[in-house]
Amino acid sequence: MKTLLQFSFKRRFLNKMTLFLQIIFILVISIMFYFDKISELLNLEFNRPIPIYIEPNLRKLIVNEAEWKNKGFEFTTNKESITISYSKDVYTITLVDDLMTQSKIYDLLLDNHQKRKESSSNSSVYRWLEDYRSIDVDFLEYKYEDNQFKHQIIILFLTSIYFMLLNFIAVNSNEIIMEKTSHMIPIILTHVKIKTHFISKLIIGFASVLFQIISSIGIVGLIGYSRYQLDKGEGLIRLLVKFLPFKLDSFNLDDILKLLDLSMNDLVQVSIGLVFILIGIFIIQILILILSSKVKTMEEAASIQGPFYLVLLIIYYLALSLNTTQSLSSNLGLTLSYIPIFSMLIMPMRLLTQHVMPIEIMISILFSFALISLIFIIMYPIYCEGLREEG
């Protein structure tokens, strides 16, 4: 029993891949706990206050300015930033494009309102209490309401593709592991050069990703069309509106398409976004393929994909947390949109929320290709060695 336990423990936990996973985990957790320090060190301006314009009549009424600062806002005179106006006991807020900021502003306005109420006297306690409890805030006047919906739909589309493709990053790795465990590698390497083997794996990996995208879009299109023919998807849209964070007044696919109002520019942006996702997936495929060549046991094979899924999940959450015009314009957002792998989601989001110069797109793609070249130069010998070890 003891021997069995020791044997299993050693094989499961003292293998290179599990150690690699642990290193990645330690790294990620360390970054999380020291993010403020790292952000300061790298001058990422992640903590840069969000500029907010408060109209003079309301500005006079703000008594909790310190609270606003603590929550990351900075009062400005620039009307292009978030603006809050106040008229007839209704606060109107424009240019807030994420729910979290909306919620923070609401809380701060309510806090301000309550502080003011606390210092004022009122004849009717009942009326005072009623006033005290709530405020009227109007978030409906988005300057870019239509864009917001379009933006959300495109982000939904891109992130769906991102997750769909995550399944495929492991295909190559599984194939290599299968070839290694069946001892076919020596036989195959007497038939083809290692470089041919490597490139064919990359091609087939990338081709399966493309096939998956095309077939999925085809299937979605076909089934969507059949539903459109049936009743223009009316019942479905009504159901979806209940669960999805969209505000819609129309409930059939015709109206949705009109609302989306997809232009050629939107399609170009989505296509560029897809290119970034594909490049990111390609880089991850190369890395996972090379690491798979070093796998020697089934236990190692089981842990090889872990670090990649962890990193990809972090990229996803990072992209979601940065999915506001302000965050994406911060140094962190800008920097990550150039860093390969991170750029696979951050750059598409930047493309959708702000004007990105073509040169920025080119530079970001160039960085990714530079990383691919670097991986080829530095890590290809590791692949050769990994396969030859089996040979």
Partner 1 sequence: MLEIQNISKNYGKKKALQSCHLIANKHDIIGILGQNGCGKSTLFKSVMGLIEVDSGTILYNHKQCDFNQRKKFGYMPEQRSLFLDLTLYDQLKFLAQLKGILDDRFDRLVDLYIERFDLKDKKYTVLNKLSKGQQQKVQLIASLIHNPDVLILDEPLNGLDFYSVQLVMNELRIQASLGKIILISSHQMDFMDELCTHLLVLDNGHTIKNGKLSGLYQEYGVCVSVNADSLWHNISKLHKNILEKGSMIEFHYANLLEAKKALGNFCKEPTITTLKLHNVSIGDMLKEGE
Quote the least distance from Cβ 99 to partner 1, whole Å. Answer: 50
Residues 360-389 that bind partner 1 (CB under 8 A): 388
Question: By CB under 8 A, is residue 229 in contact with partner 1?
Answer: no
Q: Which stretch binds partner 1 (CB under 8 A): 57-65, 191-199, 239-247, 370-378?
A: 191-199
Of 100, 102, 89, 88, nearest to 141 by C-alpha is: 102
Bridge partners of 84, per DSSP, are 54, 93
Torsion sign over Cα 365, 366, 367, 371: positive
Tell me the window of 34-42, 186-194, 251-259, 312-320 that interacts with partner 1 (CB under 8 A): 186-194
Q: Which is nearer to partner 1, 145 or 389 (CB)?
A: 389
203 binds partner 1 (CB under 8 A): no
Tell me: does residue 199 bind partner 1 (CB under 8 A). no
The whole-angstrom separation of Cα 209 and Cα 69 is 46
**Closest by CA position to 345, among listed 359, 358, 364:** 364
Strand order in the sheet with 136-138: 73-76, 50-54, 82-87, 90-94, 136-138
> Which of 119, 121, 123, 182: binder of partner 1 (CB under 8 A)?
182
x/- site string to partner 1, residues 162 to 181, per CB under 8 A?
----------------x---
Closer CB to partner 1, 178 or 257, in the complex: 178
Based on the shown chain and the rule CB under 8 A, indicate whether residue 3 belongs to the binding site for partner 1: no
| Phi, psi values for residue 356, rounded to 5° | -110, 130
**Residue 183 engages partner 1 in binding (rule: CB under 8 A):** yes
Residue 249: CA count within 13 A, CB half-sphere: 4
Among 188, 241, 275, 363, contact with partner 1 (rule: CB under 8 A):
188
Does 240 bind partner 1 (CB under 8 A)? Our answer is no
User: What distance in Å separates the CA atoms of residue 176 and residue 285, rounded to the nearest whole number?
Assistant: 12
Taking CB under 8 A as the rule, does residue 218 contact partner 1? no
Distance CA 122, CA 128 (A): 6
Binding site for partner 1 (CB under 8 A): 178, 182-184, 186-193, 388, 391
